[in-house]
Structures are given as structure tokens and as C-alpha cells.
Amino acid sequence: MDPQVQSALSSAGLQTYKDLLMVPVTDLMKVTGLSFKQVEQVLTNAASAWRSPPLTALQMKLSLSVHCLSLGCPLMDELLKGGLPVGGVTELYGQSGAGKTQIALQLCVSVQYPQDQGGLDSGAVFICTEDSFPVKRLQQLIGEQHRLRPQLTALTSQINFSDNVYIEHAADLASLRLCLSQRVPLLVARGLVRLLVLDSIAALFRSEFQASDWMERNKQLISFSSKIKDLSQQFNLVVLCINQVTDVMDQSGGSSGPSPSLGLCWSNSVMVRLRLTRLPQWVSEGGQHSALRRLEVEFSPHLPPHSLPVAVWRGGVRGLQ
């Protein structure tokens, strides 16, 4: 780089490529006193030094090892074509009692299996906002593992499942922000965690803001959703956000059915949206009874909008034939 240009840049306090590129060209000309052509040249040089050349989809296919996390049930994995995607935000929403937390707990266990068993050979971090963490239920699920995967008893007795689930409580937005910006990156960077569960996201944003504060709420929501998206892409995490439902009123004042909370601003940043509905029927199997549920793909870039009947058993959530 031309020494004259270099000194102009450093005296303007522009150190990194990112500093340079985030300033609009006209502003850059003003602060550095350089001509349009020089600025353009500097920016192009910075961009090419910073960014690597594009990959072809074929190269991506060859370099990609695992791109999803199994739910530990062949039928549900089939619905999701292998499981939850790595490097994107999955939302699971439904009414209370639908079984959302059950699926999240099940993932906390299945993430710990090695990759040939559908896991990611790593742990999970579980952020609770409303209820306390259902630790008893997790223990029960762990206890059932040797029965669910009988061919892997050597493995299941070796993994210390409850040691690899990190539990965080975030009762307000400030502590959630702290958790996402400091504690989670620390765990992730050490390779201890590949799954991030948030149960549930709506509570914080619902309770802290009045209806008239929607502008501030949206701003917070945007910064939160870009944060989890960045984390998931940067570290190849699976992110599962559990969401509640809200009744939406239509123009005439009637209800047009429950829809996920937090509105469009949040929906725009979700990659896969799943819905869990509790149905009035009951099913039983081997002396256990469970309310029937339906798990459906509402939208996703790679899944057709299919659904699957599921039930919650002692050993976890399973699809029904």
C-alpha cells in the first residue's frame, strides 16, 4: 500500500479491515482526505485480503461432515431429514403442556452420543428463563438410555450424561445478554457444548416491556436474535428456541387461532419453525399412557411441511407409526 495512503488511514484511526469497510465511501474520503479512486482501491484491497474466495456447493458437500443433530427417534429424524440443523436457529412452539421441554431435554442427551450415533460428541447448555430446570426428568431420561439403546450399553455407561449439561438461569434480559455474550462463548470455544437450548424466549420479552415500548422491545429482540444466529454460525452450534403461543386478534376482534409469540420481527430470524400441538386423544403402550401430540414442520428451507403424531413416554418423545 502507498505510504501516503497508509499514513492517512492510520491518522484517521482506521486499523482493521472491518473498520475500513464499515464506513461509507463518502465519509471515508472526508476523514482521510484521499481521493475517490484511492479510497476505492484501498477498500478493494482490504476486501480481498480479508475475505476468502467462494466455495462451490460441491466443495461444501465434500468438506461437510455432520450437518444435523438426531432427536434419538428414527421417525422424528425422518420428518426432519436427520434432525435439527447445525448452524441455524430452530424454533419449537406450542401451547403449554404440549411437550416442548421434553424434546429439548431429549436433545441434551442425544447431543452427547458420538457422531455415528447421530450425536455431536459434545455437551449442551440449557438456559431457563421461567421455570427451574427439570432436573428430575433429565435424570429419568438418562436412566432410560441403556434400555433405549441396548446395543450401546458399554457406551452409555461410559458417558456421564448429567455432567455435560450446563444449566443457566436468566431471569431478566440483562442476565440473558451476559450469559450469551460471555458464558456461552466460553463453553463453546472449549468444545464443551454444541447445543444451545433457550426455554423459553417469549417470557423475557413479554414481561419486561409494556405494549407501548414495542420499539425498544424490537430493538432488543433484533440484537438478541442476531446474537444467537452469530453464535450458531460461528461455532456450528445447534440452537433450539422454545416459544409460547399468543392468540392473535383479527380486524373484527375475533381470534384467528394461536400463533407463535414475539411476532414477525422474531420470525424473520428463524430458520426452521416446528410446531407441537397437544391433541385430545390418548394413546397407551406397554402400560404407559400419553396424550397424543402432533409435531409439524411449519417452515424450513429444506423440509416439506409434513407432520408426525408423537407421544411422550418415560424414555422420551417418540414418533408413532
Partner 1 sequence: MQRPLSTLPLSSAVKAKLVTAGFHFISDLMNLKAPQLSREAGVSQQEAMAVLAELEQGVPPPSMSALQLLQKEAELQSIITFCSSLDGALGGGVPLGKTTEIYGVPGIGKTQLCLQLAVDVQVPQCFGGVGGEVIFMDTEGTFVLQRFAELAAAAVTHCSLLAEDEEQRVAMETFTVDTILSNTYVVRCHDYVELLAELRLLPSILAARPKVRLLVMDGMAAPFRPLLDDLSARTRHLGGVALQLAAVATGHDVAVVVTNQMTTRLLGGGRSRLVPALGELWGHALNIRLHLHWEGSQRLATIAKSPAHANVTVQYQISSDGFRDVDQSHAAGAK
Per CB under 8 A, residues contacting partner 1 are 17-18, 21-22, 24-27, 29-30, 33-38, 43-44, 46-48, 50-51, 53-61, 64, 67, 81, 85, 87-88, 219, 222-223, 226, 229-230, 232-234, 263-265, 267-271, 273, 298-304
Between 275 and 293, name the residue whose CB sits nearer to partner 1: 275
Between 246 and 269, name the residue whose CB sits nearer to partner 1: 269
Between 6 and 59, name the residue whose CB sits nearer to partner 1: 59
* Shortest spacing between CB 147 and partner 1, in angstroms: 32
* Shortest spacing between CB 254 and partner 1, in angstroms: 16
Whole-angstrom distance, CA of residue 317 vs CA of residue 103: 6
CA 177 → CA 127, 180, 188, 211, 264, distances in Å?
Answer: 11, 5, 16, 22, 21
Between 87 and 134, name the residue whose CB sits nearer to partner 1: 87
Between 78 and 230, name the residue whose CB sits nearer to partner 1: 230
Give the helix ranges, DSSP H, for 84-128: 100-110
* Shortest spacing between CB 55 and partner 1, in angstroms: 6
Whole-angstrom distance, CA of residue 60 vs CA of residue 2: 37
Radius of gyration of the chain (CA): 23
For residues 109 and 72, the answer to whether their CB atoms sit within 8 Å is yes
* Shortest spacing between CB 199 and partner 1, in angstroms: 22
Whole-angstrom distance, CA of residue 248 vs CA of residue 267: 15
Distance from the Cα of residue 231 to its chain's centroid: 9
Whole-angstrom distance, CA of residue 38 vs CA of residue 199: 51
Whole-angstrom distance, CA of residue 234 vs CA of residue 249: 38
* Shortest spacing between CB 251 and partner 1, in angstroms: 9
* Shortest spacing between CB 305 and partner 1, in angstroms: 8
Between 64 and 154, name the residue whose CB sits nearer to partner 1: 64
